[in-house]
Amino acid sequence: MSHDCVSCALNPQRLEVVAGSHDFVVVVAGNPNTGKSTVFNALTGLRQRSGNWPGTTVTRAEGGYRHNGRGYKVVDLPGVYSLRSATGEEDVARAYLENGIHDVTVVVVDATRLERHLGLVLQILQVTHHVVVALNLVDEAERHGIVVDTRRLARSLGVPVVATAARRGRGIADLMSSVESVATGSFTSRVRRPPNEDLSDDDAALVVFAEADRIARFCVRTEGRRVRQRVDGALDRVLTHRVWGFVVMALLFFAVFWFTIAGAAVPSDLLYRLLVQDGHAVVRDLLGGAPWWLTGLVADGVYLGTAWVIAVMLPPMAIFFPLFTLLEDFGYLPRVAFNLDRLFAAAGAHGKQSLTMMMGYGCNAAGVTATRIIDSPRERLIAVITNNFSICNGRWPTLILMGTIFIGQLAPPGAAGLVAAASVVLVAVLGIVMTLVVSWMLSKTVLRGATSVYSLELPPYRPPQVLRTIYTSIIDRTLKVLRRAVVMAAPAGAVIWLIGNVDVVGESLAAHLVHGLDPLGLALGLNGVILLAYVVAIPANEIIIPAILLLTMTVGPVDFGVPGGVLLELGDAETASVLIEAGGWTLLTGVNLMLFSLLHNPCSTTVLTIWKETRSLKWTATATLLPLALAFLVTFLTATAARLT
């Protein structure tokens, strides 16, 4: 867990940047949640992940751009509060700023909180004078009635200061020009600040804060800020309330899932008819004259597997991810982490685990990587092992589909969507409960130790950019997850078709495998098809549903008169009829699949990430097998209880 390991991405020795064909190296630094990665993206045109909360960037990112015929390599460092910090990612950023080879340092500061962020600027100026200050979020400052005199600020610091609103691209051209002037030497710093080497850390900090306060009072004036503060304060009193905070949290996530379920039905049906019904016929026609096995492998295996992924997953993801991102951009997710902090502390875990858990709701591999923000190796291991209980992108479609087919159908048609959404929310809450319970168990047994104390900086509320959020969430999340699912579904479809059409002793290989797994599956309230699908889908959770459907049609008890692995002859049959009629699924099957989806082992990508982060076979195996054992235990108990009633 140390950052000193040679292979660790945060090893300072690995942070050395090779300029390559670029003329200059530019480092982007700053306090967490100042829009640093957004500035990086605006400069390079890349889409490094950014969010309205601290700690989004835990490792460096590199990109480049050209300006006036010169090439610039840009390095985005993790956020750092102070060059005298001792935390993991801050220590790496500090080491690079002090010892790394670069031509210009762009220090991004928040225009709404200038005084606090000037401390880092002053410390960096003690290390290097080749600095440009990006006064970011000026649009937000204007809404708060905060005016920063950039000329006064530049004179006080002795370096260029550029007002930017990186989310809107405002000021980026001026920032490039200022970087060029510093890199080429046409601008020279006019202020020499002697290092405070003779002072203790506390005395040096007092000197820096006093200077920051003096400069801020000289450069900043406010107009009508109290109104905005009252609005933000009123929101925080509700959203972080001990009781109402949890009520609002449940209602908001319920609304997100309800919109997702209700809105995805029609486009899913259209895509099903277009891709699965009509598209499959077109593909078979195109392969007319080819050997039967080639037609079956390509049209019935690869194509249908891919088409099912798109039809089932695209509509709900295209609705869910933008809604989730809007909450993130607004600044709500850190409030959720704040509400959960007390619970994590009671479970013997680090409060920052609530942040890494929220990252896991997008991707568990990203959540595991984000645990670098936790300094304590013991608490970081707890966060790594339990991140699997955050429902990742690939598992949402399974939960939403099961909730719609089995839970929603228990209610009258008018309330089916609401009940289905409530069931998904309930599973998500259960995931939080499992995270806390397992964290508590680990902290009381193999990972005993004292709980660290930390402070969480709540970011300001920011009006989401709706159109931009929809665009970026579809490009960065929906299509990224869909592309990964399609890449995995194509070979999985081929494998399923092959094992469904290769006969061994009078039965297909798939039938042998399913029948062999059936006793275990039935004991868990599932079946052999589901367990085999999870084996095939180890590379990615996104292909669980397509794999289940393909296998159900291949070896299910209902004869649809089709070759193994073919779904076309189902005609207008819905997914529900496939599972219930061909698979013999019941309400217990649907409920236990939701539980198994929540608890089962991480995907192979996450397992590999855990290994890279821990470099420990023991903890990688623990993080992989512990959730699987819990999935078996919980589904077995649920099935047993259901059969006894």
Domain ranges of the chain: 24-222, 246-451+459-471, 475-644
CA atoms of 553 and 556, how far apart (whole Å): 5
Predicted confidence (pLDDT) at residue 512 exceeds the cutoff of 80: yes
CA atoms of 586 and 540, how far apart (whole Å): 25
Q: What is the mean pLDDT of residues 299-322?
A: 77
Q: What is the mean pLDDT of residues 390-397?
A: 80
- pLDDT at position 562 is 46
Q: What sign has the CA pseudo-torsion 293, 296, 299, 303?
A: negative
Structure tokens at 622: 């623990």
- pLDDT at position 67 is 92
Structure tokens at 44: 């390079």
Predicted confidence (pLDDT) at residue 2 exceeds the cutoff of 60: no
- pLDDT at position 516 is 94
Q: Is 61 helix (H, G, I), strand (E, B) or coil?
A: strand
Strand locations in 381-516, DSSP E?
A: 503-504, 507-508
- Torsion angle, CA of 518/522/528/529, rounded to 10 degrees? 150
Note the pLDDT tens digit of each residue in 559-606. 444 444 444 334 334 566 667 766 778 899 999 999 999 999 898 878
Looking at 74-83, 407-416, 573-582, 616-625, which range is the least confident one?
Answer: 573-582
Q: Backbone phi, then psi, for 165, in 5-degree steps?
A: -135, 85
Predicted confidence (pLDDT) at residue 11 exceeds the cutoff of 60: no
- pLDDT at position 567 is 41
Best CA proximity match to 27, nearest among 116, 121, 120, 131: 131
Looking at 34-48, 185-199, 278-292, 340-354, which range is the least confident one?
Answer: 185-199
- pLDDT at position 574 is 54
Looking at 144-153, 411-420, 615-624, which range is the least confident one?
Answer: 411-420
> If you average pLDDT over each of 13-27, 198-212, 421-435, 568-582, which comes out highest?
421-435
Structure tokens at 208: 């820096």
Token pair 């550029």 in the structure block, residue: 162
DSSP state of 450: P
366, amino acid identity: A
Q: What is the mean pLDDT of residues 123-143?
A: 89
Structure tokens at 329: 């951009």
Whether the CB-CB separation of 592 and 527 falls below 8 Å is answered with no
CATH number of 24-222: 3.40.50.300
Whether the CB-CB separation of 85 and 91 falls below 8 Å is answered with yes
- pLDDT at position 10 is 41
Predicted confidence (pLDDT) at residue 14 exceeds the cutoff of 50: no
Give whole-number Cα distances, 606 to 385, 428, 612, in Å: 11, 19, 10
Whether the CB-CB separation of 112 and 141 falls below 8 Å is answered with yes
339 alpha-carbon distance from chain centroid: 20
- Please, what's the b/e burial string for 278-301 (b: 16 or more CB within 10 A of its CB; e: otherwise)? ebbeebbeebeeeeeeebbbbbbb
- Torsion angle, CA of 489/490/491/496, rounded to 10 degrees? 70
Structure tokens at 425: 């929310």
For the chain, the helix, strand and coil percentages under 3-state DSSP, each to the nearest 5: 65, 10, 30
Whether the CB-CB separation of 381 and 614 falls below 8 Å is answered with yes
- pLDDT at position 439 is 94
The CB-based long-range contact list for 232-238 (8 Å cut-off, 24+ gap) reads 232/460, 232/461, 235/461, 236/335, 236/458
Whether the CB-CB separation of 553 and 560 falls below 8 Å is answered with yes
Percentage above 90 pLDDT, the chain:
26
Give this prediction's pTM: 0.66
Best CA proximity match to 59, nearest among 368, 488, 407: 368
Please, which residues have CB within 8 angstroms of residue 285's CB and are 6 or more apart in sequence?
none
Greater pLDDT, 531 or 19:
531
107: which strand partners? 29, 133
The CB-based long-range contact list for 506-512 (8 Å cut-off, 24+ gap) reads 508/554, 508/555, 508/564, 510/551, 510/554, 510/555, 510/564, 511/554, 511/555
Predicted confidence (pLDDT) at residue 177 exceeds the cutoff of 60: yes
Q: Read off the pLDDT band of 442 (50, 70, 90).
A: very high
